[in-house]
């Protein structure tokens, strides 16, 4: 692999001193993820110190490290390793001449980021870079930037937040040419008084726009005008996307695709594009429209973007489909185990409603919902009934109010944890079922997915 950092370049970027000459092909701050040739950044925090894992990192093939303490391993020493990671991120961003896109939103940001990367990376003559996994916080964003090769033609960086002010800082590191908000919905409401405050915090992404940059805003959002207000002082162009025909990017025609997705004819200004979205659900149509808006804004190939959208697979924890092997047949499992809020719960229940067979759901509690948590959970009763769920497992204490709202309407069990949920799900599922597993990541429903997809006992 081509090195992305040399020891002298790292030392210049972070204002540190190199102990030896080395070259790194990647960057990591989790010693468990260090691979051959990586630069290991020994971050220090309240509960751990990366310097304790230097030997492990080098045993796994690290080429060098950024440290703030003595070590015999090849390193660049800096006063503060977290500050050094941010400095490395700034240096990486400064040397890239390609177009950078920042993505945030209450729902859909990781899926949209992956779809946008696939659309831009489809061209054999262009090189695209993206955040991996959901590395979108105060450490994940600088790490994703630090990993960015200098010759990247495009970079797609995901940015998240759960407090006001976080995006305002992250966007100054990313300095996007295009800044996109996928949607505004109740998420992390424990830390915000209302949805308007969430919209304000998401709108911070526009503050980092490069001069003349493009802001992409969801037209169908009740907070559209509020978001446009945040974008106007910073954006050269504001583009809206959505299902309404008044949006700049909108569908002219929608039809079910034989594969379960949606065939779309979309309008972008004066142009039309027909393509297939491989993933099912109206929320994926919206994601695809946002992707087209961003590809167009950076001068990408819209035809290739349409092909990429037709080939997308589901992401683990975010819509991937798995097979559950059963005695006498199979069930189909929709893995939405990574995250949950009221909007994403409703969207994926609509997807389940369209599936053939008996509908089974394992739903975990939605966390960080604040003092409105009881209402948000109880509000899922109607979408569950409308999805024709015949067998339901509710997981976690916060599901108590939903259980009360469903009493006598849907057959369900209410269990305390993922282990109990797996036991009940194994007994419930039958051949031909369509099974949805969704909940906040902290509930641990990925273990239910792994247990079911690994075979039914």
Q: How confident is the model at residue 128 (pLDDT cuts 50, 70, 90)?
A: very high
More confident residue, 318 or 172: 172
Please tell me whether 152 is known to bind a ligand.
Answer: no
Mean per-residue pLDDT for 86-105? Answer: 98
Segment 197-224, tens digit of pLDDT: 999 999 999 999 999 999 999 999 999 9
Residue 141 has pLDDT above 60, yes or no: yes
Segment 421-456, tens digit of pLDDT: 999 999 999 999 999 999 999 999 999 999 999 844
Residue 264 has pLDDT above 60, yes or no: yes
Q: Can you tell me which residue has the tokens 């027909």?
A: 274
Please tell me whether 109 is known to bind a ligand.
Answer: yes
> Is-contact 191 370, C-beta < 8 A?
yes
Contacts of 252 (CB under 8 A, 6+ apart): 245, 265, 266, 267, 272
- CATH 3.40.1390.10-classified regions of the chain: 5-80
Please tell me whether 133 is known to bind a ligand.
Answer: no
Adjacency order of strands within the sheet including 214-218:
128-130, 154-158, 99-104, 178-181, 214-218, 237-241, 249-256, 262-268, 271-277
Residue 457 has pLDDT above 60, yes or no: no
Q: What is the 3-state secondary structure (H, E, C) of the chain?
A: CCCCEEHHHHHHHHCCEECCCCEECEEECCHHHCCCCEEEECCECCCCEHHHHHHHHHHCCCCEEEECCCCCCCEEECCCHHHHHHHHHHHHHHHCCCEEEEEECCCCHHHHHHHHHHHHHCCCCCCEEECCCCCCCCCHHHHHHHCCCCCCCEEEEECCCCCCCHHHHHHHHHCCCEEEECCCCCCCHHHCCCHHHHHHHHHHHHHHCCCCCEEEEECCCCCHHHHHHHHCCCCCEEEEECCCCCCCEEEEEEEECCCCCEEEEEEECCEEEEEEECCCCHHHHHHHHHHHHHHHHCCCCHHHHHHHHHHCCCECCEEEEEEEEECCEEEEEEEECCCCCHHHHHHHHHHHHCCCCCEEEEEECCCCCHHHHHHHHHCCHHHHHHCCEEEEEEECHHHHHHHHHHCCCCCEEEECCHHHHHHHHHHHCCCCCEEEEECCHHHCCHHHHHHHHCCCC
Please tell me whether 108 is known to bind a ligand.
Answer: yes
| Token output for 91 | 């240096």
CA dihedral (332, 290, 157, 281) in degrees, to 10, reads: -10
**What CATH code would you report for 96-311?**
3.40.1190.10
pLDDT for the residue 207: 98
More confident residue, 45 or 66: 66
The overall average pLDDT reported for the chain is 94
Contacts of 295 (CB under 8 A, 6+ apart): 116, 119, 120, 301, 302, 305
Mean per-residue pLDDT for 9-34? Answer: 96
pLDDT for the residue 189: 61
Q: Give CA–CA dist 120/118, Å, rounded.
A: 6
Please tell me whether 110 is known to bind a ligand.
Answer: yes
Q: Give CA–CA dist 18/78, Å, rounded.
A: 9
pLDDT for the residue 271: 95
- CATH 3.40.1190.10-classified regions of the chain: 96-311
Q: Give CA–CA dist 82/88, Å, rounded.
A: 10
State in words which class domain 5-80 has.
alpha beta
Mean per-residue pLDDT for 338-365? Answer: 94
Q: Can you tell me which residue has the tokens 């569908």?
A: 251
Between the alpha carbon of residue 195 and those of residues 190, 198, 222, 287, 413, the distances in Å are 11, 5, 10, 20, 32
pLDDT for the residue 456: 42
Tell me which fold the domain 320-453 belongs to: 3.90.190
Q: Give CA–CA dist 171/380, Å, rounded.
A: 34
Please tell me whether 111 is known to bind a ligand.
Answer: yes
pLDDT for the residue 188: 59
Please tell me whether 106 is known to bind a ligand.
Answer: yes
Backbone angles phi, psi at 257, to 5 degrees: -90, 150
Counting residues of the chain whose pLDDT is more than 70, the rounded percentage is 98
Backbone angles phi, psi at 88, to 5 degrees: -65, -40
Q: Give CA–CA dist 82/80, Å, rounded.
A: 6
Residue 134 has pLDDT above 80, yes or no: no
Mean per-residue pLDDT for 140-146? Answer: 97
Segment 170-202, tens digit of pLDDT: 999 999 999 999 999 876 566 788 889 999 999
Mean per-residue pLDDT for 109-131? Answer: 94
Residue 370 has pLDDT above 90, yes or no: no
Sequence length of the chain is 457
| Token output for 173 | 């590191």
């Amino acid at each position: 692999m081509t090195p992305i950092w040399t020891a002298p370049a790292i030392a210049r970027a972070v204002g540190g001193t190199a102990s030896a000459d080395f070259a790194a092909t990647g960057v990591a701050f989790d010693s468990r993820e260090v691979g051959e040739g990586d630069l290991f950044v020994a971050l220090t925090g309240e509960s751990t110190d990366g310097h304790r894992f230097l030997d492990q990192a080098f045993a796994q093939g690290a080429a060098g490290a950024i440290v703030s303490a003595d070590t015999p391993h090849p390193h660049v020493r800096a006063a503060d390793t977290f500050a050094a990671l941010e400095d490395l991120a700034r240096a990486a961003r400064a040397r890239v001449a390609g177009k950078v896109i920042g993505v945030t939103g209450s729902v859909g940001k990781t899926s949209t980021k992956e779809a946008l990367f696939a659309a831009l990376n489809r061209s054999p003559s262009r090189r695209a870079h993206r955040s991996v996994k959901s590395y979108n916080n105060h450490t994940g964003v600088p790490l994703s930037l630090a990993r960015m090769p200098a010759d990247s033609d495009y970079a797609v960086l995901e940015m998240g937040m759960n407090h006001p002010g976080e995006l305002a800082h992250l966007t100054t590191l990313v300095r996007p040419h295009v800044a996109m908000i996928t949607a505004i919905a109740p998420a992390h409401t424990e830390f915000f008084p209302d949805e308007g405050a969430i919209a304000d915090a998401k709108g911070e992404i526009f503050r980092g726009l490069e001069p003349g940059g493009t802001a992409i805003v969801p037209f169908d959002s009740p907070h559209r005008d509020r978001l446009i207000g945040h974008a106007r002082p910073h954006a050269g162009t504001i583009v809206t996307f959505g299902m309404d025909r008044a949006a700049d990017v909108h569908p002219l025609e929608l039809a079910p695709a034989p594969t379960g997705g949606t065939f779309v004819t979309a309008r972008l200004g004066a142009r039309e594009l027909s393509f297939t979205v491989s993933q099912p659900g109206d929320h994926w149509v919206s994601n695809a429209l946002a992707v087209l808006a961003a590809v167009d804004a950076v001068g990408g190939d819209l035809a290739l973007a349409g092909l990429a959208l037709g080939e997308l697979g589901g992401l683990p924890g975010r819509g991937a489909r798995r097979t559950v092997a059963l005695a006498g047949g199979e069930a189909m499992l929709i893995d939405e185990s990574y995250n949950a809020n009221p909007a994403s719960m409703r969207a994926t229940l609509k997807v389940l409603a369209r599936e053939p067979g008996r509908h089974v759901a394992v739903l975990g509690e939605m966390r960080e919902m604040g003092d409105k948590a009881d209402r948000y959970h109880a509000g899922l009763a109607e979408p569950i009934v409308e999805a024709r769920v015949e067998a339901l497992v509710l997981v976690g204490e916060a599901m108590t109010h939903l259980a009360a709202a469903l009493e006598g309407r849907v057959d369900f069990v209410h269990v305390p944890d993922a282990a109990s949920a797996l036991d009940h799900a194994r007994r419930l599922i039958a051949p031909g079922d369509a099974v949805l597993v969704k909940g906040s990541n902290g509930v641990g429903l990925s273990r239910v997915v792994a247990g079911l997809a690994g075979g039914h006992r």
